[in-house]
Structure 1
């Protein structure tokens, strides 16, 4: 691969990780073949359109028109590429154990088409040992080739942060660990086409562990401020005012913000990958598991705060009309993966409330593995009539484009889980309950 100035790259999985990565390789002049089992994604991309907000359709359209990019469901086309980047989901099972089925299925599909000299890179977040214990044996069995001798293998975790205006694929440093030193060198040669800064580490296990630590760090600290929010609410203290004051300390403090629960593919899931693997070594991860428990309990806390606020106003939750603001897991993105809004929605429906949602970035609720019943539900317009009809509005995602003054003025009650109403005139705040 080293003799090629710009290799042909195959990217398996064209979601929120794989598609932005494909775009970056395209911008670097590489040819890209994208693989996905979802025929709708394949058809959309080959028509020059994008289904992810931060991936510009113009880049896709131009690359398709010039033959620089093509999407396909045919894994036999992997024979045409020098590098295979695996960007498939790694969710949890119903018992909160790692679900590696997408990695396993991909490895078994890729293996028959693997040829000598190719590079395989796994980017999916997973526990230490996955590359060596799960990916490599399947690639070797299905291809008859030897990893580290006939083809190269690296693990290089994705670090995408959708909606971040300052950091994208190009300027986020790339951690990479190889099965061998030659594998590492081959991986660095590849990723230098798309990423400015490389962070080589000594093994695939170290690279796998690095990604988990990054997200467990956030999970634990968010759990801490979520717990503090519940404590300070009981004391009549505004946790956001406390955090704003604390962050003025120029050392020894990093501000994390509470919310209605964790969302996105990584932070709600990664800690459980480590706790599962740790059991194999007879080690408990009490601190990490406690943080996970706190964060997963937050949707229930939000619903209880809503129930209390309605009760104080002489209204029962049962039969109430509730408008959820924000279906995305974070502001200013169209990504609903693991969004706590779905958990809140489910809890409200279980209490026989009538639920609607508004999200300017998600016009229709997508099919979610854990919440299939809500697929196809449309986002309602944010009008005076919709707000006035609602017994309560719950701010779950604080998108910047929403006028929260307008929301509070026309709503009967607002439950604010994101401190989105901070700074509104004092005469409106009697309608707002923080949760």
Structure 2
């Protein structure tokens, strides 16, 4: 059966889209743009393949579909902005095979104006076709939340902004096959800026509660009880919780690298969140000292090193910096994570604990960095000599909480 959809980029944005499309009965091919790592388990990927999903390395197949969605990752560049190299590579590859009447949609996180000023130019120059006349062009924020069992592509509204009204309607017709609700933006710039707002909303609110965590510790206030009580307010408040740092594929965007536009709140949030791994290590060293031990030579066990619970994704995980800083203090670091069989920090393999309870009992300090469902936190709090909980997941009084 010929494919109806091409997903270009099989990383954290592309694989979930392909999974949703295959589940909706859409014949789908996938084309890689680089060494991408997604959040789907091997079992989920096997189910996709059995349902008809077909990865391909033949770029010519991109010209045989009705819809092509570019989901290439845009990681943080060296200068702090977004690296659009994989989006550019995807556009150049697609443009060489683009046919009239195809609908092209960009889902990658990008700056406002990228679809019109960057992607459109590449597609038109490479194909000889005109966007809005010969093919449809639109932008839609990805809105992927790996591991979230409550919100799936089917019940998550999809925002769409097309180059023309006809472009918007063509993209809406495609997404209407995947989701219960389509939201039409005025154009691609508005849709792109939705993505910027949503990404920054997360980072800014996490930064606020991270600062509150530091303040509450200094004041001797139980932050976790504060959040528990505050989230009972039925309006004007959404609960966020602190942690050892912010990982994942969503990059905060202050737009400094895009025309020099600075969002001061986002810039400050980045500073606050980037300090959290160091703060966790500071708290760890203080706890060891309070119990008559030095960080130098201490055996420290890290629990959960992925950036999100119940996933194998290590992208930008704060555990990396926590481990590195502990090693720099002279600690002997090991880890346990049911989703990560091997882990390295700066190419230095970190020993993995096979027996969780024995390792916790043997360690001078155990630090919970990620709250995987498989962890029995009550049992761990009993076994561990000293437990620092950065997620507020342990029972009150069972551990030292961030």
TM above 0.5: yes
> Partner of 1:416 in structure 2?
389
SS of residue paired to 1:277? coil
Cα deviation for residue 237 of structure 1 reads: 0.8
Which residue among 224, 239, 243 is the counterpart of 1:255? Answer: 239
SS of residue paired to 1:168? coil
> Partner of 1:62 in structure 2?
50
Separation of aligned partners in 1, 2:142 and 2:226: 33
Tell whether 2:10 aligns with 1:23: no
Change over 3 Å in CA distance of 1:54–1:293 after alignment to 2: farther
Residues 104, 135 of structure 1: 8 Å contact kept: yes
SS of residue paired to 1:110? helix
Which residue among 375, 378, 393 is the counterpart of 1:402? Answer: 375
> Partner of 1:87 in structure 2?
71
Which protein has the bigger helix share? Answer: 1
Over residues 396-429 of structure 1, what are the superposed CA-to-partner deviations in whole Å (9 max), with x where a residue is unaligned? 1111220112222222111111012124xx5xx3
> Partner of 1:157 in structure 2?
141
Which residue among 40, 52, 55 is the counterpart of 1:52? Answer: 40
TM score, norm. by length of structure 1: 0.87
Mapping for residues 328-339 of structure 1, pairs under 5 Å: 328-339=306-317
Residues 275, 288 of structure 1: 8 Å contact kept: no
TM score, norm. by length of structure 2: 0.93
Separation of aligned partners in 2, 1:354 and 1:131: 48
Cα deviation for residue 233 of structure 1 reads: 0.3
Cα deviation for residue 350 of structure 1 reads: 2.4
Separation of aligned partners in 2, 1:154 and 1:194: 16
Mapping for residues 88-127 of structure 1, pairs under 5 Å: 88-127=72-111
Tell whether 2:216 aligns with 1:235: no
Residues 200, 266 of structure 2: 8 Å contact kept: yes
Residues 174, 198 of structure 1: 8 Å contact kept: yes
SS of residue paired to 1:77? helix
Cα deviation for residue 58 of structure 1 reads: 5.3
Tell whether 2:253 aligns with 1:271: yes
SS of residue paired to 1:113? coil
SS of residue paired to 1:324? strand
> Partner of 1:298 in structure 2?
276
Separation of aligned partners in 2, 1:301 and 1:408: 22
Separation of aligned partners in 1, 2:30 and 2:62: 10
Which residue among 364, 384, 395 is the counterpart of 2:342? Answer: 364
SS of residue paired to 2:253? helix
Residues 30, 54 of structure 2: 8 Å contact kept: yes
Runs of 4+ residues over 6 Å off in structure 1: none
Mapping for residues 335-354 of structure 1, pairs under 5 Å: 335-354=313-332
Change over 3 Å in CA distance of 1:378–1:113 after alignment to 2: farther
Cα deviation for residue 325 of structure 1 reads: 0.7
Unaligned ranges ≥5, structure 1: 1-5, 42-49
Residues 37, 73 of structure 1: 8 Å contact kept: no
Separation of aligned partners in 1, 2:379 and 2:50: 41
> Partner of 1:47 in structure 2?
none
Mapping for residues 286-325 of structure 1, pairs under 5 Å: 286-325=264-303
Paired positions, count: 401
Residues 23, 55 of structure 1: 8 Å contact kept: no
Tell whether 2:394 aligns with 1:434: no
Separation of aligned partners in 1, 2:62 and 2:6: 7
Residues 9, 34 of structure 2: 8 Å contact kept: no
Change over 3 Å in CA distance of 1:24–1:384 after alignment to 2: closer
